[in-house]
Structure 1
Amino acid sequence: DADDLIGSAMGLLGVAYRYGGSSARTGFDCSGFMQHIFSRSMQISLPRTSAEQARTGEYVSRSNLQPGDMVFFRTMGGGRISHVGLYIGNDRFIHAPRAGKRIEITSLNNKYWNAKYATARRVKKNDPSRFLN
């Protein structure tokens, strides 16, 4: 599952960021990117926003991250989850960062992202808990 998910994400490296975007042709925002790759590679329908996605699947501690887990960040201040990326291993994640940027791979240890890290979630293909919110 994780291999398909990461392969799908890697195939979109360089696609432009677009606020509210959810297609490879016109660009993605962070949560639209997650929706697209989970739908395409795992046939899983994620909610639209990063805050909603952060309530999907099961909690994963940072020390137990595995490739394919979603990593969440608080980039707007306050307690609200406002950004999501896909963990790909070796303390790295792939994401649609912000306007003017393209889908890229970034280190979780990057000073900015490390300070904004909030939580992580693991969504499995045949996990019944994803239907129970």
Structure 2
Amino acid sequence: MPSHTPALLRTTVVAVTAAAAAFFSLAPAATPAAPAAPTAAAAPVEVAQRTVALAAPSNAVAAAALNASPAAKRAAALETALAQLGKPYRYGATGPSSFDCSGLTSFAFKNAGVSIPRTSRAQSTVGTPVSKSDLQPGDLVFFYKPVSHVAIYIGNGQVVHASTSGQPVKISNVDNMPFSGARRV
């Protein structure tokens, strides 16, 4: 597997997040009408609001996901997981500074407003079963029998996961491990 530089990882996160947002139609249904000409007092408020939104994207994603559709919540979970790329693996860790596989998935879905069990085996029983050929971004993908590893599907045959000791949270090909099943939550 090629090594991923921080710049490449950031580019991947931005591209995948944009694709997931487009896929799940996270854009507002209609563009609000243009406001009346701003007054001198109104302009700083508008700038301040934009600054806050840009300074805390993960909080904005989590807040938006609370009342979102299941598809939007999966997109938010995927975005959260991708934001953890490069963080270290630590068995039993649930973030935010390190993760094991199911710690990453439960952290990502929790930040998207979805509660899932803590372990990969327990996670493999929630949601709706999905075939490998029907995977969509945000689906949970399980590996080995019995299930002992979980990842989040990104698209194009790739998953994001906390793989093993000595390896950071990374992107891998779904076929690099023995596929056991998938679930859509």
Which TM bucket (shorter chain)?
0.7 to 0.9
**1:29-68 → structure 2 map (5 Å cutoff):** 29-41=100-112, 43-68=113-138
Look up the equivalent residue of 2:183 and give its one-letter code.
R
Alignment equivalent of 2:167, drawn from 87, 101, 106 = 101
**Cα displacement string for residues 61-87 of structure 1 (whole angstroms, at most 9, x for unaligned residues):** 00100000000001xxxx310000000
Distance 1:23 1:5 in 2: 14
Distance 2:75 2:114 in 1: 15
Distance 1:121 1:8 in 2: 18
Please name the residue that 1:6 is paired with: 78
Shift of 1:109: 2.8
Write out the 4+ residue segments of structure 1 that deviate beyond 4 Å after TM superposition: none
Alignment equivalent of 1:20, drawn from 92, 109, 115 = 92
| 3-state DSSP of counterpart to 1:52 | helix
Distance 2:147 2:175 in 1: 19
User: Cα RMSD between the aligned structures?
Assistant: 0.9
Point out the structure with the larger helix share.
Answer: 2
Shift of 1:48: 1.0
Distance 2:175 2:92 in 1: 27
TM-score (norm 2): 0.59
The number of residue pairs the alignment matches comes to 113
